[in-house]
Structure 1
Amino acid sequence: MTKLKNIKVVVSDLDGTLLNTQHKISDYTKSIFQELHNQGYLLVVATGRHHLDAMAIVETLGVPVYLVSSNGARIHSPNKEELFAFNLNSDVVKAALNVEIDPEITVVLFKENVWQTNRISEKLNAYQSELNYRPELVDYKKLEDFGAIKIFFSCDNHEKLVKLKDDVLANSSEHLHHAFSLPTCLEFMDKSIDKAVAIEQVLEKEGFTLAEAVSFGDGFNDVQMLSASGKGLIMGNAPALLKETLPDLEVIKTNAEDGVAKYIASKILDKELV
């Protein structure tokens, strides 16, 4: 068993990574993160989720954690102090939505306190054990303020999302970039916003660099984070295309197998796996 050297920071995505298939953090994972904290590692969670949603999950770890949310548009300290915030301009969002959107696609604007959507989706609600971040049904044709943290689309048909991605970028590539956090989830952020950029801000504040970080992820919104880290690790449950996109990165166990915690236990904490 070879221990990973020169690692001072542990960064993890949530969905499909730190969270299991029930969208929860297992007791085993909590115990591993408690030990990381006890040994002085800096802990960062970097997620596409809204901060109100993610905070409730991160709190269950029971240790101080920096939170990068909305793919880097928000940063919160371990004591929940907002350190960074960026919102998309209303006109930029309005232009992005000025395309033909298939009726099967759920549209979501991440606002500060609610997520505005064209339909209430029980599938999306299921990602929250408690609705800390609530949906608000809106008619986008009548909406006046389109300002948002990010734009989110969901559809079981990936090809429909690919077409929508192309249509949105045809109008808005100057201002926006995209990521498929899951094959069924398409997200648009300002071009300046990325998990890796936000994580670098956190590490600079704490006196570390990404070269001293190990990071875990499973989606295309994790690409820059995984690539820039001293050690980037792809979840076994990640899409095949992500693994092909980052062929030099190691693939570990799935989120259903507590892949993050087991890797940390073996390669960072130097513990025997049971």
Structure 2
Amino acid sequence: MKNTHSNIKVIVSDLDGTLLNSNHQITPETKAVFHQLYQNGYTIIIATGRHHIDAQAIIKGLDIPLYLVTSNGARIHSPNQELLFAYDIKSEIVASVFQLDIDPTITTVLFKEEVWLTSKTNKKINSFQRDLSYPPEVVDFSTLRDYSAIKLFFTHDSHEVLQDLKDQILETHSDYLCHAFSLPFCLEFMDKSVDKSVAIGRILHKEGFTFENTIAFGDGFNDEKMLDAVAKGLIMQNAPDTLKNKLKHLEVIASNNDNAVADYIAQNILR
């Protein structure tokens, strides 16, 4: 084992574009490596932008107990699936966002506890779900009474359109909301207090570890603070160049379609 990894006790990984291949699946190689990690006593954290119901359906494929950070940190579930932390965006904040002049070609989604409400059917977003355990419901947002949500989500084929929307929303809501681009075509807003790195910090404190005991893998801008906070942050080769340039001091490994997370762990942590 290399000296740089001798103090590592906690493994953190994003899902889409990182642990999952481009078919949003966990490969047998990845499952085998994570079983070894668990058997060797490592604390494992999956940290994703996905909703917890959606993410739980995926991590069943790993078949080991682990911590689950979802909606970019708005929810934390324990290895026995107990809810440890939950924070929503207040209804009046979301309602005031909807009063803005939002481009109608943008798909708008409110992620709630048991359902996700969407302005239109979007096949690109639906393709991220292998089983619709967390079904979308097309609604007219002007008819809602309760706008409270785990996450406010926008998607559009043009990153520039979403950049303009981000600026428009933050101009009046920067005191209440934080944002992340989980993918260039996915813009997400959470309560200002929510971030993957904050949620991971809560788990580390509970387990008696620090970020110095932690290694993390990610590919999106919602992984940025997490990757920068840990002792060893690793960026996927398929990550946007803008993220790689922003975190030039971090190592870039192979892509999510090359089992890069599993290979790195096998060669550097489990060796």
Look up the match of 1:45.
46
State whether residues 88 and 190 of structure 2, in contact with CA within 8 Å, keep that contact through their aligned partners in structure 1.
no
Look up the SS of the partner of 1:181 in the other structure: strand
Look up the match of 1:222.
223
Look up the match of 2:158.
157
Question: How big is the shift at 1:5?
Answer: 1.8
Question: How big is the shift at 1:228?
Answer: 0.4
**Equivalent residues in 2 for 1:108-187 (5 A)?**
108-187=109-188
TM superposition outliers: structure 1 runs of 4+ over 6 Å: none
Distance in structure 2 (CA, Å) of the matches to 1:94 and 1:226: 32
Look up the match of 1:193.
194
Q: Which amino acid aligns with 2:240?
A: P
Give percent identity, aligned residues only: 56
Question: How big is the shift at 1:97?
Answer: 2.3
Q: Structure 2: which 5+ residue stretches go unaligned?
A: none
Look up the SS of the partner of 1:34 in the other structure: helix
Look up the match of 1:231.
232
Question: How big is the shift at 1:2?
Answer: 3.8
State whether residues 214 and 230 of structure 1, in contact with CA within 8 Å, keep that contact through their aligned partners in structure 2.
yes
Distance in structure 1 (CA, Å) of the matches to 2:226 and 2:31: 23
Question: How big is the shift at 1:259?
Answer: 0.8
Instruction: Write out per-residue CA displacement over residues 170-222 of structure 1, whole angstroms, 9 at most, x where no aligned residue.
Output: 12111011111100000001110000100111111111111100000000101
Q: Which amino acid aligns with 1:99?
A: L
Look up the match of 2:12.
11
Look up the match of 2:241.
240
Number of residue pairs matched? Answer: 270
Look up the match of 1:70.
71
TM-score in terms of structure 2 length: 0.98
Distance in structure 1 (CA, Å) of the matches to 2:229 and 2:187: 22
Look up the match of 2:253.
252
State whether residues 37 and 63 of structure 1, in contact with CA within 8 Å, keep that contact through their aligned partners in structure 2.
yes
Distance in structure 1 (CA, Å) of the matches to 2:51 and 2:219: 18
Instruction: Write out per-residue CA displacement over residues 63-86 of structure 1, whole angstroms, 9 at most, x where no aligned residue.
Output: 111000000000001111000001
Look up the match of 2:211.
210
Question: How big is the shift at 1:98?
Answer: 2.0
Look up the SS of the partner of 2:65 in the other structure: coil
Look up the match of 1:58.
59
State whether residues 97 and 168 of structure 1, in contact with CA within 8 Å, keep that contact through their aligned partners in structure 2.
no
2:86 is aligned with 1:82: no
Distance in structure 2 (CA, Å) of the matches to 1:35 and 1:225: 24
Question: How big is the shift at 1:88?
Answer: 0.7
Question: How big is the shift at 1:95?
Answer: 1.3
Look up the SS of the partner of 1:7 in the other structure: coil
State whether residues 44 and 66 of structure 2, in contact with CA within 8 Å, keep that contact through their aligned partners in structure 1.
yes
Look up the SS of the partner of 1:96 in the other structure: helix
Distance in structure 2 (CA, Å) of the matches to 1:35 and 1:24: 19
Distance in structure 1 (CA, Å) of the matches to 2:99 and 2:6: 50
Question: How big is the shift at 1:103?
Answer: 2.1
Distance in structure 1 (CA, Å) of the matches to 2:28 and 2:106: 35
State whether residues 176 and 191 of structure 1, in contact with CA within 8 Å, keep that contact through their aligned partners in structure 2.
yes
State whether residues 235 and 252 of structure 2, in contact with CA within 8 Å, keep that contact through their aligned partners in structure 1.
yes
Distance in structure 2 (CA, Å) of the matches to 1:97 and 1:48: 22
Distance in structure 2 (CA, Å) of the matches to 1:98 and 1:219: 29
Look up the SS of the partner of 1:146 in the other structure: coil
Q: Which amino acid aligns with 1:177?
A: C
State whether residues 13 and 216 of structure 1, in contact with CA within 8 Å, keep that contact through their aligned partners in structure 2.
yes
Look up the SS of the partner of 2:80 in the other structure: coil
TM-score in terms of structure 1 length: 0.97
Q: Which amino acid aligns with 2:177?
A: L
State whether residues 50 and 72 of structure 2, in contact with CA within 8 Å, keep that contact through their aligned partners in structure 1.
yes
Distance in structure 1 (CA, Å) of the matches to 2:2 and 2:72: 32
Instruction: Write out per-residue CA displacement over residues 116-157 of structure 1, whole angstroms, 9 at most, x where no aligned residue.
Output: 000011211111110011111111122221100010001111
